[in-house]
Amino acid sequence: MRLILVRHPAPQIAAGLCYGRSDIDVAPALLAAALATLAAALPADLGSTTPVYTSPLRRCTALALPLAAQLGMPAPRIDARLAEIDFGDWELRPWDSIARAHIDAWAADLLHYAPGGGETVLQAAVRVAGFLREALDELRRRQRADAIVVCHAGTMRLLAALQPVWGRGADLAGPVLAAAALRAAATPHRIDYAGTLTLRF
């Protein structure tokens, strides 16, 4: 089975602002460009019954809805577990306005520190793992080979970190999940807007 992860287009937000769970629009021109890029980038063998999942945030649904229609696929399923991490009261603040001590505290405990009092990486990993388990189970039941998942860079990094340990009988609610979450948090961010990442299970 393949999960084809798609990152949303660049949101309409000033450079240098912290954003995660904030709901931000995408410029129409960038959306059109993303759809054109994905038409060429997605695998040609995707079937018309391929399910499409999306984060509920507008920068994802604005892409997922026309993408599914363009590919002749069913309407996307919105799943809140695919949302970006919640940065609490850091949301929409300039990064350089956040106290250095808070940034350092986060860097010292990537797994358990809740930036801005929002969500920890481990909490995000728990919800993303829950989505992954249900999505893969449904693909098996319905005998589907693929799914498209429109989401965020943070969500994509978590899904990618979970992929190598999936299906090995490990307890993903324990140390294995924590290790995957930490690996995702420590992974350099190299996912382009409207970029894709294919995971095989």
pLDDT tens for the 201 residues of the chain, in order: 999 999 999 999 999 999 999 999 999 999 999 999 998 999 999 999 999 999 999 999 999 999 999 999 999 999 999 999 999 999 999 999 999 999 999 999 999 999 999 999 999 999 999 999 999 999 999 998 999 999 999 999 999 999 998 865 556 668 889 999 999 999 888 899 999 999 999
At residue 150, what is the residue type?
V
Which value, in Å, is the radius of gyration of the alpha carbons in the chain? 17
CA atoms of 31 and 9, how far apart (whole Å): 6
